[in-house]
Amino acid sequence: MDRKGSVRRRPDPRSGVGVSDGGDATGTRAAVAGRTGRVYGWQHGSVPALVGARSGGMACGPRPDHRRCGGGAMEAADAADTIREAAEGEGEAARDSAERFRRRAAVAIAVLAMLLALTSLGGANATKETTNNTIQASDTYAFYQAKNIRQTQYQLAADDLQERLDTAALPPAARAATQRRLDDYAATIARYESEPGRDGQPGQGKRELLAQARDFEARRDRAQRQDPNFDYAQALLQIAIVLGSVSIVATSRRLLLLALALGVVATALMLNGYFLLVALPLG
Q: Average pLDDT of 210-233?
A: 96
Same domain, 112 and 65: no
Sign of the dihedral defined by the CA atoms of residues 130, 133, 137, 138, in that order? positive
The model's confidence at residue 91, banded by pLDDT at 50, 70 and 90, is: confident
Q: Average pLDDT of 184-205?
A: 93
For residue 187, give its domain range.
Answer: 102-275
Q: Is residue 159 part of a domain?
A: yes
Q: Is residue 93 part of a domain?
A: no
Same domain, 47 and 130: no
Q: Average pLDDT of 185-205?
A: 92
pLDDT over 90 for what percent of the chain? 58
Q: Is residue 97 part of a domain?
A: no
Higher pLDDT pick, 204 / 35: 204
Q: Is residue 224 part of a domain?
A: yes
Same domain, 243 and 139: yes
Domains in the chain, number: 2
Same domain, 110 and 183: yes
